Structure 1
Amino acid sequence: MDTGSRTGSMERGGASMSVSAEPVLPALFVDVPAVVPNVIVDLRYAGPNNFVGVRVDGYEAERALLTRPAAEAAARVAEGLARQGLVLKLLDCYRPTRAVAHFARWAADTNDLGTKADFYPDHDKPELFDLGYIAGRSSHSRGSTLDLTLAHASDGTELDMGTPFDLFSERSWPASLAVTDAQRDNRRLLAAAMTDAGFEPFLMEWWHFTLKGEPFPDTYFDAPIR
């Protein structure tokens, strides 16, 4: 998950920001599989396979939603990678603000350590806020950020990126030297494809990208995913 900070595509210091309380998303939001060919959808927060350990608030269905400009940019990525026998595997897309609030409640509960070994073995839970792994806002709530990896089109096997999704560790940083050359090459392949299509990477997560020139740069949506 992203912190909403530590990169230019995240929080904008001094800018006016708002949270939309509308129960439905604007018409500019689309189902990603309707735009991106052969995409694999595996939204981790729609089930228990995540650092919280349960389905996250706001994920009432496993639907990958993005703004149309972000989805169309992802389609360009998919088109280029298809020539290499690869497809996109989506791990998170639009994220309601209520989900971010759920993350914050989880992080504040120091008695719940059930996922520590899998997701934050290097840190004590209270450190996750200070280190920027958990925060009060997420760029995902603006609708043009996605978490993803690459998989082989032939069998859906993921490329080895060196760490699992949402491992809160410096090993997950794209530039980490704690992974093998082959794993770093896979990260570079993903990053190059995404940046060429107009996305910005995040310095703490190899899987996280935000569309430059996103249509809702200052609005955080809370409509549940249904």
Structure 2
Amino acid sequence: MTFNKKPYLVVFLLSLLPTSGAFAESSVNSQRHEFIDVASILPNAVFDIRYFTEHNFVGTAIDGYLAPKCLLHKTAVIGLQAAQQQAQQQGMSLKIFDCYRPQRAVDHFVRWVNDVTDTKTKSEYYPNLAKKQLLGDYIAAKSGHSRGSTIDLTLVDEQGKELDMGSPFDMFDTLSNTDDPRITVQQQANRYKLKTLMINAGFSPYAMEWWHFTYQPQAYPNHYFDFVIE
């Protein structure tokens, strides 16, 4: 008796291929060449990449940040160029805190928020909330930053001084809501300067965090990248 070997060969070759999920992940991560180092495009912007340092709400350098760089998908960079141009025309400049964020960094945040014994940054970053209350609106298991189109930033004047926004970057409190009624008229005006610049450049604001904006449409709205920043 003889057998047709072709079906067995096909099955064997298929077994060597990655699963559909792994294949999709590999395919998505291969798009990292579409991400641009924003400093190479906006040399006059100010960069303070907090998660590369210990100066952040976790209190330590964050997983995946091997260099203090702002990476964004090339489509979002076009919008950011427009925002910086508008800012400079008004005697200001963008100051950038965070851009693309690897999924492993988000995982680091989640591990931190679940460690209720670690509260060393509470007084600075979440003085009025219990740590467990940060899950959801402030810290989630998936972040738009990992898609490459979201950025955290503020404005500085000609001397490089940050405009008074009424609360610092990454302060988890309703005080950081764009329209919180407790801020002064000048602080609200400063928030709206930033908000107007970013909206005009194609970014959508996040009402709970005055510093958070996402370029629309997002290049990869359904994927979360995990390549390191280096």
TM-score normalised to structure 2 length: 0.87
Count of residues in Structure 1 that have an aligned counterpart in Structure 2: 208
Provide the aligned C-alpha RMSD in A: 1.7
Which of the pair is proportionally richer in helix?
2
Separation of aligned partners in 2, 1:128 and 1:184: 24
Matched residue SS, 2:187: helix
Tell me which of 34, 44, 47 is aligned to 1:41: 47
Which of 143, 146, 160 pairs up with 2:148? 143
Larger gyration radius, structure 1 or structure 2? 2
Identity of aligned residues (%): 43
Helix, strand or coil for the counterpart of 1:69? helix
Matched, 1:105 2:111: yes
Aligned positions of 1:200-219 closer than 5 A: 200-219=204-223
Residue 8 of structure 1 corresponds to none
Structure 1 SS opposite 2:196: helix
- Deviation by residue 1:132-161 (Cα, 9 ceiling, x = unmatched): 2111000000000000000013x2110000
1:24 positional shift: 6.3
- Offset of 1:129 from its aligned partner? 1.2
Counterpart residue type for residue 148 of structure 1: L
Deviation at 1:37, TM superposition (A): 4.2
SS at match of 2:154: strand
Which stretches in structure 1 are left out of the alignment for 5+ residues?
A: 1-17
Secondary structure of the residue that 1:186 maps to in structure 2?
helix
Match of 1:10 in 2: none
Q: C-alpha separation between the residues in 2 aligned to 1:203 and 1:23?
A: 30
Determine the structure 2 residue equivalent to 1:68. Answer: 74
Please tell me whether the aligned partners of residues 24 and 223 of structure 1 are also in contact (alpha carbons under 8 angstroms).
no
**Does residue 1:183 correspond to 2:183, yes or no?**
no
CA distance in 1, matches of 2:139, 2:210: 16
SS at 2:197 equivalent: helix
**Structure 2: how far apart are the matches of 1:86 and 1:220?**
32
* Corresponding letter in the other structure for 1:191: K
| Structure 2: 5+ residue stretches without partners | 1-22
Equivalent residue number for residue 31 of structure 1: 37
Going from structure 1 to structure 2, the CA distance change for 1:116 and 1:89 (only over 3 Å counts) comes to same
Shift of 1:23: 6.5
